[in-house]
Amino acid sequence: MPAERFVRALREAGWATLVVAGLSFPIIAYRAEPDFNNLLALQPRWPLFWQFCAAAFLLRFLLAFWSGDETKAKAPREKNWPKLPWLGPLALVFLTIYPLAVVALLGPQAALKWVDTYGVQILIYVLLGWGLNITVGLAGLLDLGYAAFYAVGAYAYALLAPATGLGFWALLPVCGLLAAFWGFCIGFPILRLRGDYLAIVTLAFAEIVRIVLINWDVVTHGEAGLFGFPGLNFFGLPFIPGPRGFAAHFGLPFQGIQKQIFLYYLVLVLALLANLVSLRLRRLPLGRAWEALREDEIACRALGLDTRNIKLTAFALGAFFAGIAGCLFALRQGFVSPSAFTFSESALILAIVVLGGGGSQLGVAVAAVFLVGASELLRELTFLKSVFGENFDPAQYRMLLVGLAMVAMMNFRPRGLVSTRAPTIKLGATS
Amino acid sequence: MNWLDDPILRVDHLTMRFGGLLAVNDVSFAAGRGDITALIGPNGAGKTTLFNCLTGFYQPTAGRIAFSSEKLDAEKIETLTRSARKHDGETFLLERMADHEIVRKARLARTFQNIRLFQGMSALENLMIAQDEALSRAAGLSFIGLLGLPSWRRAEQAAVDRAVAWLDRIGLKKRADDPAGSLPYGDQRRLEIARAMCTKPALLCLDEPAAGLNAAESHGLAELLRGIRDQGETSILLIEHDMSVVMRISDHVVVLDYGQKIADGSPREVREDPAVIAAYLGVEEQEEAVEEAVLSGGGA
């Protein structure tokens, strides 16, 4: 019945427009700005308000008109991905040759951005995603303050490297262990909490860490952050021009990108190691206990599992990975400050895990590439300035992208990119 | 009267109070080694509360729960009660122990009224988690397991063999790799019992194992439980509403009503006990109807 459908779509669009009007009235119709006397002056923006309402009406109408009968129940339309056993090895080969290929194609100057921002940065987020996946995806403990452990790792390196004179090879595990220690500490008070309550406490913990970093001026230099700590070196050879540097030792011309390429491979190896450890742990009693805890805590206790230890190890190991990632972050930036470890950072890492589908390594990696890579790609869209004017900054729309990804996910794959769970042990009994 | 001569579990003056509600009121009974002991009573009689006290899920308000998989000695219990210890390695005071300790050290396993399987995990994985104690020891803080040393692989194989033997016994070998939540209801019930058995318990506590099963399935369940008892390593304590199951398999029946024990004895004694009949069917003197209802429940 097209007429009936038309009327229903019209009605739905009307309601949607009312909601949009109600929501946007206080924020869009008037804008409060301080005037010359520093008093707030209201600046009416009614045309913009009407544009918003019109857009909402039109979009909602079209959606309701074309999407058909909403009242009928729909069968779940989630499909399994085809099995692609070659995908892993192919990705590995690609990741191995990627920095060299980029340098060969673009030259050492232009390739820097592609190796550093798109390579190292995304890989650090993959590592973070895999770490948080242990806590959230496997053990089912919702952690909204993961950036705190990331911060502990980064500050541990930035503070300990100049103070102890140790190289990053020695400090890398120290950063991980310190973060794991804090994971252990936060784990204790929240052992008896579940679900939302647990999430709130982890959120608060992350804020405590951030505020301590801001206010403990003597040690952390507050908002200004720490810099000038020793950077990366190649087994004792620093990446500097001159006879004592890495380039001279191997008879190569000095290029700034050599350090980034080495960092890239370092992060890649560590991420793969983390992946290997979590994949193997899943098949061990500890990993199975994590998943059992996610499924049913009471049943765990009835089987003699000590849920306290299971929760603590899940928190500590997840935090360990974050500490390692934090150390690598400090090496990449050469500068750490509290502004890098805000709640939005925790939210982004959590979004990676949720989008990837809790429990799946590949899904998390793909989600990290998508969310971090796409928001970086936004910066490249400078041509949009010719459309929207000189003041348009596409990078400002990063969070919009995360939001869109989440909405799309809820619509099409509500349980994440990879939602199927492979048993950790198979009998393969078909007869 | 095996439960008096050689008990595996002795509950003395157990009381559990929730605020103003006295859920279990001064209950004492014993369960015999090698017996199937049934705990019956009308809804709200305090059966599940008692179970939760036994398995450490609740801390009882008062009372003592003594347990030993070897030999329960009255003198040892007294010595232990006066000391501050939880157990002496052989005799255990369950009211002093945490839930996971009760499973691991005292060797008491339980199932739940509403099935609590790990729904998303396969049937085989469910049984592997139940063998966590042996596997964790073999995995050596996960390090030996991470390296995949032969000692770990042998332990894992042994655990798989044990799990497969149980799957075979409950007829679920073909579905070993399917998620437990996708199994039919009756299979889930039996899988939960198999999972509890994989912890190698000395006493298996079942909370309404026949609930929701059809006649054929509850017959099969009764056979399974009798088989477990006849192997001689595990005694059984069960809460059950299905009188045909209770009367067919149990050696000893304890009846609770309003948190108090009202009868204790062999199935035949309990069936004829006027207090039990009154609790189940009301106190009005409708002798014939009472006799008939109880007997038809018990005689099937």
In a domain, B132, yes or no: yes
End-to-end CA distance of chain B: 25
Measured between beta carbons, the chain B residues lying within 8 angstroms of A301 are 57, 99-100
Q: From the CA of A163, how many Å to the nearest CA of chain B?
A: 32
Complex ipTM above 0.85?
A: yes
3-class DSSP state of A172: helix
Examine the fold and report which residue of B200, B230, B252 is the final residue of a domain before the chain moves on. Answer: B200
Residue of A nearest to B145 (CA): A284
pLDDT-derived band at A431 (thresholds 50, 70, 90) equals very low
Question: Any idea what the CATH number is for the domain that residue B15 is in?
Answer: 3.40.50.300
Q: Quick one: pLDDT at residue B112?
A: 93
Determine the Cα–Cα distance for residues B284 and B155; give it in Å rounded to an integer. 61
pLDDT-derived band at A89 (thresholds 50, 70, 90) equals confident
End-to-end CA distance of chain A: 52
Q: Which domain holds residue B289?
A: 2-107+202-299
In a domain, B53, yes or no: yes
In a domain, B19, yes or no: yes
Residue of B nearest to A429 (CA): B174
- pLDDT string in tens for chain B (300-residue length): 788 888 999 999 999 999 889 999 999 999 999 999 999 988 888 999 999 999 999 999 999 999 998 888 888 888 889 988 888 888 999 999 998 899 999 999 999 999 999 999 999 999 999 999 889 888 888 888 888 888 999 999 999 999 999 999 999 999 999 999 999 999 999 999 999 999 999 999 999 999 889 989 989 999 999 999 999 899 999 998 878 888 889 999 999 999 999 999 998 888 888 888 888 877 655 555 555 555 565 443
Average pLDDT over residues A218-241: 85
> Cβ–Cβ of B125/A301 closer than 8 Å?
no
3-class DSSP state of A33: strand
Same domain assignment for residues B280 and B294: yes
Q: Which domains does chain A have, with CATH numbers?
A: 2-66 (no CATH), 87-412 (1.10.3470)
In a domain, B293, yes or no: yes
Q: What is the CA radius of gyration of chain B?
A: 20
Going by the DSSP 8-state scheme, the letter that residue A230 receives in this structure is: -
| B110, B132, B145: residue with CB nearest A305 | B132
Calculate the average pLDDT of chain A. 86
Same domain assignment for residues B217 and B289: yes
Q: Following CA atoms A170, A175, A181, A183 in sequence, which dihedral angle do they give, to the nearest 10 degrees?
A: -150
| B122, B130, B177: residue with CB nearest A303 | B130
| A277, A300, A427: residue with CB nearest B177 | A427
Same domain assignment for residues B48 and B182: no
Q: Quick one: pLDDT at residue A108?
A: 82
Same domain assignment for residues B274 and B223: yes
Q: Quick one: pLDDT at residue B292?
A: 57
Q: Is A88 on the interface with B (CB under 8 A)?
A: no
Determine the Cα–Cα distance for residues A171 and A175; give it in Å rounded to an integer. 6
Q: Is the pLDDT of residue A125 over 90?
A: yes
In a domain, B287, yes or no: yes
Same domain assignment for residues B95 and B223: yes
C-alpha B138: how far from chain center: 28
Reference A298, options B192, B223, B290; nearest CA is B192
Q: Is the pLDDT of residue A374 over 80?
A: yes
Of the residues A80, A134, A303, A424, the best mutation for testing chain B's interface (the one with the most B CB atoms within 10 Å of its CB) is A303
Q: Quick one: pLDDT at residue B283?
A: 62
Q: What Cα–Cα distance (Å) separates residue B107 from each residue in A286, B39, B126?
A: 21, 20, 18
Q: Is A301 on the interface with B (CB under 8 A)?
A: yes
In a domain, B79, yes or no: yes
Q: Is A47 on the interface with B (CB under 8 A)?
A: no
Same domain assignment for residues B83 and B174: no
Determine the Cα–Cα distance for residues A358 and A416; give it in Å rounded to an integer. 7
Q: From the CA of B261, how many Å to the nearest CA of chain A?
A: 26
Q: Domain count for chain B, please give it.
A: 2
Same domain assignment for residues B102 and B219: yes
Rounded to whole angstroms, the maximal C-alpha distance in chain B is 72
pLDDT-derived band at A76 (thresholds 50, 70, 90) equals low
> Cβ–Cβ of A423/B121 closer than 8 Å?
yes
Place of tokens 């193997």: A280
In a domain, B100, yes or no: yes
Collect all residues from B whose CB is shorter than 8 A from any CB in A: 55, 57, 99-104, 109-112, 116-122, 124-125, 128-130, 132-133, 135-136, 139, 142, 145-146, 148, 156, 160, 164, 173-174, 176-177, 179, 195-196, 199
Average pLDDT over residues A221-247: 83
> Cβ–Cβ of B132/A296 closer than 8 Å?
no
Q: Is A423 on the interface with B (CB under 8 A)?
A: yes
Of the residues B100, B111, B192, B207, the best mutation for testing chain A's interface (the one with the most A CB atoms within 10 Å of its CB) is B100
Examine the fold and report which residue of B184, B200, B216 is the final residue of a domain before the chain moves on. Answer: B200
Residue of A nearest to B163 (CA): A427
Q: Is the pLDDT of residue A77 over 80?
A: no
| B103, B125, B195: residue with CB nearest A424 | B125
Reference B54, options B1, B16, B5; nearest CA is B16
CB of A395 closer than 8 Å to CB of A378: yes
CB of B50 closer than 8 Å to CB of B39: yes
Q: From the CA of B49, how many Å to the nearest CA of chain A?
A: 15
| A277, A299, A430: residue with CB nearest B146 | A277
The per-residue pLDDT for range A382-391, each reduced to its tens digit, is 777 777 777 7
Q: Is the pLDDT of residue A321 over 80?
A: yes
> Cβ–Cβ of B118/A291 closer than 8 Å?
yes
Same domain assignment for residues B209 and B79: yes
Same domain assignment for residues B103 and B7: yes
Q: Give the pair of three-digit tokens for residue B210.
A: 């026949």
> Cβ–Cβ of A301/B124 closer than 8 Å?
no
Place of tokens 């060797």: B107
Same domain assignment for residues B161 and B288: no
Partnered with residue B235 across adjacent β-strands are B203
Q: Is A425 on the interface with B (CB under 8 A)?
A: yes
Q: Is A342 on the interface with B (CB under 8 A)?
A: no
Same domain assignment for residues B160 and B23: no
Which residue has better confidence, A357 or A118? A118
Q: Is the pLDDT of residue A140 over 50?
A: yes
Q: Quick one: pLDDT at residue A430?
A: 40
Same domain assignment for residues B290 and B155: no
Partnered with residue A20 across adjacent β-strands are none
In a domain, B112, yes or no: no
Examine the fold and report which residue of B135, B167, B200 is the final residue of a domain before the chain moves on. Answer: B200
Q: Quick one: pLDDT at residue B296?
A: 60
When mean pLDDT is compared over A186-190, A281-285, B148-152, B191-195, the highest value belongs to: B191-195
